[in-house]
Amino acid sequence: MRSKTTWLIGLLMAVFASTAVYAEDSLEAVQKKIEEKWAKVESMTAKMKMNMNMKSPEPIKTDGVIEFLREGGKEKFRMEMQFEQNMQGNTMKVSSTTIYDGDFAYSVTDMMGQKMAVKQKSDVLQGVPGGRAMFERMSKTHDLKVLPDAKVDGKDVAVIEAKIKSPDPGGVGAYRMNFVKDTGVLIKTVGIDEKGEAVMEIAFEDVKVNPKLDPSRFVFKSDPGIQVMDMTNQ
């Protein structure tokens, strides 16, 4: 579960119907439009829902909230999640809070009452949940291409597929990412297996763009008695 939690966070960050894609809408052109819109987003909040292992009889369901703030030339975010999975009749619950302050990412996980905190260097989560840094990071490990435009929750979205260059057998082979055209916000991501079937989904709901947020929400404060594991050198 610990590795899955880290993967979900890194991922973050993160889808169907179709219309025609115009010939001039190359990958570079679509990315540029998304990046320009995202650069104008100063803050954002959204409810987040994840559905992992969708083909499994015991999928992992996750609810949470994400907050984003652009401050002092840095992109910061806070993500709070609650995981729940039934395992052989038992329900396992895990909560996680991640704060990226623009320099370091701190994650506190509470697994059935046992808490663990981890500190990671900035490039682990840089570019979450959108923008040029996200595309630059993904292009190193994924082949990107434009898919037909779509609608998600009534919003016009640009769709980009990110195919993993070296996928794990039996796992997710590609992600279909849906960006709201008006804001550049990544509103929905669907993971596709080698058969083309959806096996995971991450969706943002009740998205609010440019709300007033308290900067202190993006400052990590460790609870007394919890040792922070420093992984900045890994």
Domain boundaries of the chain, sorted by first residue:
2-14+17-230
What residues contact residue 132 under an 8 Å CB cut-off, 6+ apart? Answer: 31, 35
Query: Which CA distances in Å does 207 have to 65, 119, 166?
Result: 10, 28, 33
pLDDT in tens, 25-80: 799 999 999 999 999 999 999 999 988 776 666 677 789 999 999 999 888 999 99
Q: What is the pLDDT of residue 17?
A: 28
Confidence class for position 111, pLDDT limits 50, 70, 90: confident
Q: What is the pLDDT of the chain when averaged over all its residues?
A: 83
The answer to whether residue 209 scores a pLDDT higher than 90 is: yes
User: What amino acid occupies position 193?
Assistant: D
The answer to whether residue 16 scores a pLDDT higher than 60 is: no
Tokens matching residue 176: 């279909």
pLDDT in tens, 165-185: 988 887 889 999 999 999 999
Beta bridge partners of 121: 104
Least confident of 81-90, 152-161, 194-203: 81-90
Tokens matching residue 228: 């922070």
pLDDT in tens, 117-152: 999 886 655 556 678 888 888 888 999 999 999 999
Backbone phi, then psi, for 69, in 5-degree steps?
Answer: -145, 130
Taking domain 2-14+17-230, whether its CATH number is 3.40.50.12780 is answered by no
Q: What is the pLDDT of residue 163?
A: 94
The DSSP string of 179-221 is EETTT--EEEEEEE-TTS-EEEEEEEEEEEES----GGGGS--
Quote the pTM value.
0.80
CA distance 21 to 197: 22
Residue 136 belongs to what H/E stretch?
A: helix 132-138
Cis bond upstream, residue 129 (ω within 30): yes
The owner of tokens 């991501």 is 189
Other C-beta atoms lying within 10 Å of the C-beta of residue 21: 15
User: What amino acid occupies position 222?
Assistant: S
Q: What is the pLDDT of residue 127?
A: 52
Q: What is the pLDDT of residue 191?
A: 93
61: closest CA among 90, 36, 86, 31? Answer: 86
Stated length of the chain: 234
Contact by Cβ (8 Å): 111, 84:
no
